[in-house]
Every structure is written in structure tokens, then in C-alpha cells.
């Protein structure tokens, strides 16, 4: 089961956070937002349908996030969790830890923002369009 999100890079994308990555629907980004990869996301967790959310609410679920921008592709694999609520109406966060809040869309991610290829990050900092594909499988 897949869902797509489109967003846009921003000049303040640094992707230096060691334990999370984030997409936000906000249209701005300060340098402090070192986990944020893109802004103006057209879909937020609260927009996901119940079927997709339910598929993610299992410890057995594998969640893969594929990020594409300017000819670059990054795949991040993590897992689901029963406490994933997909209720946030502003941003989605992938986490290397098991911490869950209303922004969390995956836990146990095998990459955070700091682990992403620097050419990919540079493309986002130059304002490249980002396609994010979330895939949930059991």
C-alpha cells in the first residue's frame, strides 16, 4: 500500500539531524530546522486514510520511505508501531528511535537526515521538488 507526498526543497535545508527526518507543510524553514528536508508538503499525516494508518499500526509492518529529487533517490526503511496516530496536520517525521508522537510516520528508521547523500541534500537546498513515497507492508 502506497501513499505519495510532494514537497519543495528550501535554501535552509541542511539535513544534519542524527535521529530524524521531516517534511512539513509550512512554507518557511529556519536554519534551526536541521531535520527538515522539504517544505510545502501537499499531504500531512492527518490526510492519510484509515486503511493506510491501520497498515502502519503494527510492529510487523515494514514502512519504506522513498525520496526522489533532481535525479537523486534515497530509500529509508523502518517499521510501524501500534501508537502511530497520523493525526498531525503540519508535518511528518521518520525516527531512528522508537519515540512516537502525532507527527511520527515510522520508527526504527535505518537513516536520518544526516545520513542522506549530500548531493541529494544540496539539490533540496537549491529548491528541488521532492517526491516522497510511503509504502507499508506486512
Tens digit of pLDDT for each residue in 81-126?
999 999 999 999 999 999 999 999 999 999 999 999 999 999 999 9
Average pLDDT over residues 50-64: 96
Average pLDDT over residues 49-63: 96
Residue spans per domain, the chain: 2-137
14 Cβ partners below 8 Å, 6+ apart?
Answer: 31, 34, 121, 125
Q: 103, 88 in Cβ contact below 8 A?
A: yes
Q: Which pLDDT score is estimated for 57?
A: 97
- How high is the mean pLDDT of the chain? 97
Does residue 138 register a pLDDT over 90?
A: no
**Considering just the CA atoms, what is the radius of gyration of the chain in Å?**
13
Q: 8, 70 in Cβ contact below 8 A?
A: no
What is the band of 40 on the pLDDT scale with cuts at 50, 70, 90? very high
Q: What CATH number does the domain located at 2-137 have?
A: 2.60.120.630
Give the burial class of 69: count Cβ atoms within 10 A of its Cβ; 0-12 exposed, 13-18 middle, 19 or more buried.
Answer: buried
Cell 535554501 sits at which residue?
11
Give the burial class of 32: count Cβ atoms within 10 A of its Cβ; 0-12 exposed, 13-18 middle, 19 or more buried.
Answer: exposed
Q: 137, 62 in Cβ contact below 8 A?
A: yes
pTM (predicted TM-score): 0.96
Amino acid at each position: 500500500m502506497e501513499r505519495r507526498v510532494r514537497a519543495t526543497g528550501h535554501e535552509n535545508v541542511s539535513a544534519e539531524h542524527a535521529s530524524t527526518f521531516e517534511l512539513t507543510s509550512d512554507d518557511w524553514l529556519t536554519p534551526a530546522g536541521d531535520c527538515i528536508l522539504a517544505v510545502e508538503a501537499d499531504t500531512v499525516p492527518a490526510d492519510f486514510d484509515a486503511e493506510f494508518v491501520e497498515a502502519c499500526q503494527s510492529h510487523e509492518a515494514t514502512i519504506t520511505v522513498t525520496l526522489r529529487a533532481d535525479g537523486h533517490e534515497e530509500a529509508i526503511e523502518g517499521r510501524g508501531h501500534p501508537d502511530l496516530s497520523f493525526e498531525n496536520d503540519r508535518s511528518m517525521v521518520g525516527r531512528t528511535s522508537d519515540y512516537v508522537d502525532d507527527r511520527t510516520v515510522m520508527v526504527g528508521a535505518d537513516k536520518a537526515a544526516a545520513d542522506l547523500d549530500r548531493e541529494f541534500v544540496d539539490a533540496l537546498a537549491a529548491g528541488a521538488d521532492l517526491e516522497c513515497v510511503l509504502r507499508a507492508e506486512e
